[in-house]
Amino acid sequence: MSSCAAPRWTQLPAMPEASGGFIAGGVGDHLVIAGGTNWSNDVKHWSKATHALSRTTLKWDDTPTFAPWDLPAPLGYAVSGIHAGKMVFAGGSTGVAPSGLLGRVTFGDVSTAALPLKAVLAAGGVIGDELIVVGGCEDAAELAGLRRAAFAVNLRDGGSLRSLPDFPGQAFGTAASAVAGETLFVFGGANWDAAAGTVKNTDVAYAFEKSSNVWRRCKSLPSAVRGLSAVTLDADTIYLAGGYPSDERGFTDEAWFYHVKADTYTRAPRLPYAAMVSIVVHDGYVYCLGGEDQKKSRTDKCYRIAVADLLGKGS
């Protein structure tokens, strides 16, 4: 392993394939990723493959314990989280149609059930026994269909749905989201600009309090950005990083801490590379995985940093 130029991040073996838009989570002794997209010869490909990084060996798909297992269909841009020791997901796309599945992924096994919810590029996360899904659209190629609707998927009874209050801001997609306690936070993303016929990045941030069933406005991001990622570090700190601020700036490695109680942002250690990455907390580390580093491009890079070091509390 080698140290990356960005302070304190440690480079790990590259992912088995370059990818972005996959789901990822810590499952037992492994960091598991599933699905995703990549490009080859100007053609976008959608994956149903799963891969696992061993916490012990820090190797991908380590043998002899590893045996390949796949999702039942390709999957990209779903909402996911951890529930009862399993990675759960809903929504997303197969590349040809919305994915109407509620899935559970463990090391070596995938189970799915039908779910009457079409949500691509949505935000969300697990609160208690529910997976919250908000925003997004039915078709990743039709961003004019972005919406404000929010739903709670019951993870205990097979996936029943209940409607939640609509997102208070404009219809959106590609936002960052993270759960702290019983609250889902949603940051940035993009809105559809009908006059321009394209998306426009936003800096808005909102929080959904499950206990009161109410959305509240949070302080806006320091700048508008879509495709950024978020992960909760402790009860009062969310790490926000990466994304695509504008065509002029391109992809970024910029990062911020959002302080929940104070409703403020401070600068945080940058990502080890500029991209729309996936970031995951597992076993005391934040992992920075793959992502879109250029238009029509994906990377296979993999780094990690101790949560304590990221917070400046390391030894």
The pLDDT tens digits for 116-138 are: 999 999 999 999 999 999 999 99
CA dist., res. 81 & res. 132, Å (int): 10
Give per-residue pLDDT as tens, 6-65: 458 999 999 999 999 999 999 999 999 999 999 999 999 999 999 999 999 999 998 776
What structural domains and CATH numbers belong to the chain?
A: 7-310 (2.120.10.80)
What is the pTM assigned to this prediction?
Answer: 0.95
Backbone angles phi, psi at 139, to 5 degrees: -135, 120
Give per-residue pLDDT as tens, 146-169: 999 999 999 999 899 999 999 999
Instruction: Write out the H or E segment, with its range, that includes residue 81.
Output: strand 79-83
91 alpha carbon, distance to own chain's centre: 13
Of 128, 88, 238, the C-alpha closest to 175 is 238
